[in-house]
Structure formats: structure tokens, C-alpha cells
Structure 1
Amino acid sequence: MDLFEHQARDLFARHGVPVMDAEVVERPEAARAAAERLGGRTVVKAQVKVGGRGKAGGVKLAGTPDEAVARATDILGMDIKGHTVHKVMLSPAAEILDEYYVSFLLDRAARTFLAMASVEGGMDIEEVAATRPDALAKVPVDANEGVTAEKAREIVEAAKFPAEVAGEVADVLRVLWRSFVAEDALLVEVNPLVKTGDGRIIALDGKVSLDDNAEFRHPDFEALHDKEAADPLEAAAKEKN
């Protein structure tokens, strides 16, 4: 089960991953009050389970609460790669100095877990991985040992993170790993993980895929299902079971 960005953000926050404040709205007019509560200057982001939102026009900066209403009006109802936008997430606009990439995933082929990290995060990470694979560090993670302080340092060093952020990124990696394990995830990804103008390291955007087979251990998974996108026959079968 893939999560919406706002669901991934909430999951990260529960486990201590540093994130921005955020609010989700389904009506353009509701964006005004949300933007006011978030400080006025916000980023309005389409909530769809597909990549490429930014390049498709699904991520827009709003300088004022009134602009937030206009941006939400533009985005709600958009079709992004076959996905209709039914809600947007607003978060405070941050001054971004650097963008990084970090993730953990189940590597089925190698029958292990894999950490991936890069100092070149952002919208073009897929191109970076395809054209310059050496810029994306890949470090196996033993399931029994997990991400210790030593393993986190290994990942940071493999990706060549600058010394001034290495310690904080390592801390984020350890917390992110704990969320990965605790939630029975198949993938947790932060892109971008950013260094802000005031020196903070923040998970600005996240992607999470949860293992449906582990749902019996997580009653809260039920609330995460996207009812609008569910196959009606599959949904009916689940209700009977």
C-alpha cells in the first residue's frame, strides 16, 4: 500500500523524523485559513500517488493566504499522469540551501535490505541514478543488526555528505530505519531531505510503501487506504473477510 505524501509525513513525525508543519485541504477556500495558521507563505502540493508532481505543475509557491486559495484552485481537479487531485497539502515555505536523498527498501533480488543515499536529491534523482549511478550510494543493511550508529556513518560516508551535516543526516537515517521496521514498510524514501537556511535538516517530501501482508499487526493501516481509488470488487472481498 502506497501512502499519500501527507500520510508519509505524519508517519515520519510519529517516529521522530524531522518534518515541516502541514495541513491538508480538499476545498480551495479552506487553503486560506490553513495558510494563515502556517505563517502565510506556503507551498501548495497536489496529493497523488505518483511522481513528477512538480514538473506537472502540481507543486506551487503561495506568497500569501489569498495566493494559497488561487494555487489550490489551480491544482485541485488536475489530472497528473492519470491521477485526479482531490486534496492538497500546505506547508510553510522553507529557504532551501541543499537537497539530499535517503531511502530504505526491501531488496528482493538480494534478499536483504538496502539503504540508498545521495547528496544530489530533488526532482532529478531518477536521472542522476540512471546517468551517474556513482552519485547514488547503495549500502546493504543486515536485518539483524539494523542501522546502528556505525552503519549510519557508513551510509553517510558512502554518499559523501558534507561534514557539517553528516552527524544530523546520520541521526535522521537511524530514526528513518526505526520507522521502516516499526511500520513493516517495503520502502521509506525522503526526497528531498533538505538543509534549510537556518541550518535544520528536514524531511521535506516523503514516500512510503507498506506491506499489505502485515496489516493484521497494524489496525491503523485501515484508515490509510485510499477508498476513492480502491477496486470495488477487491474492497468488497476484504469486507467479507
Structure 2
Amino acid sequence: MNFHEYQAKDLFAQYNIPIPRGQVARTPEEAVAAAESLECDMWVVKAQVHAGGRGKAGGVKLAKTLAEVKQYATDMLGMKIQTYQTGGLALPVNEVLITEAADIEQEIYLSLLVDRASKCLSFVASAEGGVEIEEVARTNPEKIHTIKIDNTEGLFPYACRKAGFAMGLNGKQVRQLTHIMMQMYQMFIDLDLSLIEVNPLIIDDQKNVVALDAKINSDDNADFRHPQLADLRDITQEDPAEAKAHEHDLNYIKLEGNIACMVNGAGLAMATMDVIKLKGGDPANFLDVGGGATAERVAIAFKIILSDPNVESILVNIFGGIVRCDLIADGIISAIKEVGVKVPIVVRLEGTNVEAGKKILDESGLAVIAADNLDDAANKAVAAVGAQS
């Protein structure tokens, strides 16, 4: 789950990570009131969306007067922002963050993430902050400093100090950086996060290290342990179909193809998409309905799939282990009748009571294309798209 910048900064404040003073506003009038309460000479008005690159899209403005604060807030609220990080979506701006403007002497990049290659958490730091870290890694890899954290021993202050001195910070700033990194690590562990990114972490005119920006992602699988974080979810920043799937505990990710997939099990879903590609087709989605593929869940899954206008055929690939194939077949039939599917549906069933399940589908009178195995199913799903063209 992603968080807005103001939400991430609220969490930073709870862990004593220094941030600029700021308030969130949902109307131009609230923006002016927030600016007045900060009692400073200049303000930054920042559109709150789940994406980087807001500045280039007009989502970050420096205001020198309260009139400019109001004008910028008016311009941003209600606008939609699309950047290289929005996955093709134009995200609505429902809130703006008003912060005091900072005098920046240096910008630093700092992040803490799950390093899957090393199977541990890792800090990534660079004195080249305020820009895309991928570009720094490509052009100046020697300026990237990585700190791998032992899963048993945790993070030690000396490792933070080493990174600070490597980036050219003085003794005072290294101590401040060490405090920030230790607190970031504690927050990461406490809240089951998957990413913390500060770009930029700045040195201000008082020579202090301050988190000017904040990006946090959490692990959805740990939501049950952190209801206070789950309550921060903003579904207006998500693909509507993915948001609906999350509401019903379905794992759905929209892709760019035209062959929809409905599968029970993440590994089987990945294999299904691979075979579709192998046969010359393009998957329209990843959809794992889970082990309990009931009629209700299958019906919801069909509705989510058909909300994508690019879908030209559907491949249902179900392995009946815990759930019997005959019950799955009943669910598929009920769902098709309820939803009114108008594109070809290829169904491959395997597992417990598979013959009974196939018989139910054969005798349903519905235009369901039966498949003997995954290879056969993929061939038929791809062929069905060709027949529709």
C-alpha cells in the first residue's frame, strides 16, 4: 500500500525524524489558513498523489504570497496528474500539502528497501539527491552507497556513520544522519514496510539534515497487524478494478493484453500468463481468486475482468485441491449467467472431482470452451481472440 507524502511525514514525526513544518489542505481556503499558521515568508504547495515527478506535471509550486498559495491550491485541487510512475493512470489531486520553504544547501538521496537479491534490508544513499537515483546509478555508480543489514544483528550506528562520511558530511551531520537512518530502520520493522524513500534529504541553511520529502510503501499482507495504516488507504489513487479486487480479497493486476486470466494460486497464475505469451497471446491481467473459488468470488472476478474493454477472451484455469471441481463448475456457470459474459470463455479444470466438473460445464448449455490441459487452454484462448477479430 502506498501513502501520501503528508501521511508519510506524519509517520516520520512519530519516529522523531526531522521534517519541515506543514499542514494538509483540501480547499483553497484551508491552504491559506495553513500557510498563515506556519508564520513564514515563503511556502511550497505540493499536490498529494501516489507518484513521483509531480513537479514536472505542475504539482509542486513555490509561493511567495498568500495569494499565490490560494491560486496554486485552486489550480491543483481537482486536477489530475500523470507521470512516469502512475502506470498510465491520471491520478486525482484531492489534497495539497502546504509546507514552509527550506533553504537548501545540499540534496541527498536515502532509501531503505527489501533487497531481494541479498535477502535482507538495504539502505541506498547518495550525495546526488533530488534527481532520479536510477540515472545516478547509470552515470555515476561510484556515488551510490549501499548498506546491507544483517537479518539477525540488525543495523549498527557505525554503518550509518560510514555512509555519512563517504558522502562528505561533517561530524554534526553524520550524527544527524545516523539518527535518521536508525529511526527509519526501526519504523520499517515496527510497521512492516516495504519501502522508505527520502528524495531529497537536505542539508538546510542551518547545516541540519532534514527529510524534505517522504515516500512510504507498506506490505499489504501485514494490514491486519496495522489497522491504523490500513485506514490511510486512498482508493482514488488506485486503478478502480484493482481497488474493487482488493475490497473482495482478490489479487488482481491489470495488464495491457486482451486475454483475461482467472486462476486460483499465484504460481499457477504466473504459469498461465507465461503459456499465453508462449502461444503468441497477451495476458490482460493477473487474477488469483485464491483457494476458496466460490460462486460469489468467481462472479466478482468476472465483473472485474470485464471492466477492462480490451478483453476479447477469458481463460479460466482452476486446480481443484481444497475446493472440488464440481463446485467450481457450478460457480462458473452461476457467474456467467449473472454477469452475462459476451466474450469466449475457455475453461481448464484439474483436480478433485474433475470429471464431474467437466460434465456440469458440458451440460450447462453455455458457450464454454473446454480444455484438456493448460497448453490446450492457451491455444484455444489465443485462437478465440483471432476468431473475434
CA–CA distance in structure 1, aligned partners of residues 247 and 122 of structure 2: 35
CA–CA distance in structure 2, aligned partners of residues 32 and 22 of structure 1: 12
**1:77 Cα offset (Å):** 2.5
Aligned with 1:213 (options 211, 221, 224): 221
Aligned with 2:181 (options 167, 170, 173): 173
Aligned CA distance change for structure 1 residues 28 and 195 (closer, same or farther; 3 Å) = same
What is residue 31 of structure 2 aligned with on the other side? 31
Where do 5+ consecutive residues of structure 1 fail to align?
A: none
What is residue 245 of structure 2 aligned with on the other side? 234
Alpha-carbon contact 1:116-1:139 (below 8 Å) kept: yes
What is residue 9 of structure 1 aligned with on the other side? 9
Give the TM-score of the pair, scaled to structure 1. 0.92
**Counterpart mapping for 1:10-159 below 5 A:** 10-40=10-40, 41-81=42-82, 82-159=90-167
Aligned residue for 1:10, secondary structure, equals helix
Aligned CA distance change for structure 1 residues 159 and 145 (closer, same or farther; 3 Å) = farther
CA–CA distance in structure 2, aligned partners of residues 106 and 160 of structure 1: 26
Alpha-carbon contact 2:20-2:212 (below 8 Å) kept: yes
Alpha-carbon contact 1:98-1:196 (below 8 Å) kept: yes
Aligned residue for 1:115, secondary structure, equals strand
Q: Which has the larger radius of gyration?
A: 2
Alpha-carbon contact 1:33-1:65 (below 8 Å) kept: no
**1:109 Cα offset (Å):** 2.3
Alpha-carbon contact 1:54-1:123 (below 8 Å) kept: no
**1:181 Cα offset (Å):** 1.1
CA–CA distance in structure 2, aligned partners of residues 222 and 60 of structure 1: 30
Aligned residue for 1:120, secondary structure, equals coil
Where in structure 1 do 4 or more consecutive aligned residues deviate above 4 Å? none
CA–CA distance in structure 1, aligned partners of residues 247 and 174 of structure 2: 48
Alpha-carbon contact 1:119-1:161 (below 8 Å) kept: no
Aligned CA distance change for structure 1 residues 236 and 22 (closer, same or farther; 3 Å) = same
CA–CA distance in structure 2, aligned partners of residues 162 and 127 of structure 1: 26
- Partner letter of residue 25 of structure 2? V
Aligned CA distance change for structure 1 residues 62 and 151 (closer, same or farther; 3 Å) = same
Alpha-carbon contact 2:92-2:237 (below 8 Å) kept: no
Aligned residue for 2:102, secondary structure, equals coil
Aligned CA distance change for structure 1 residues 236 and 139 (closer, same or farther; 3 Å) = closer
CA–CA distance in structure 2, aligned partners of residues 179 and 213 of structure 1: 17
Alpha-carbon contact 2:91-2:236 (below 8 Å) kept: no
The alignment of Structure 1 onto Structure 2 pairs a total of residues equal to 241
Alpha-carbon contact 1:60-1:71 (below 8 Å) kept: yes
**1:204 Cα offset (Å):** 0.7
Alpha-carbon RMSD across the aligned residues, in angstroms, is: 2.1
**Counterpart mapping for 1:171-210 below 5 A:** 171-210=179-218
Deviations 1:183-228 (A, max 9, x none): 1111111111111112221101011010111112112122111132
Aligned residue for 2:94, secondary structure, equals coil
- Partner letter of residue 127 of structure 1? E
Where do 5+ consecutive residues of structure 2 fail to align?
A: 83-89, 250-295, 297-389
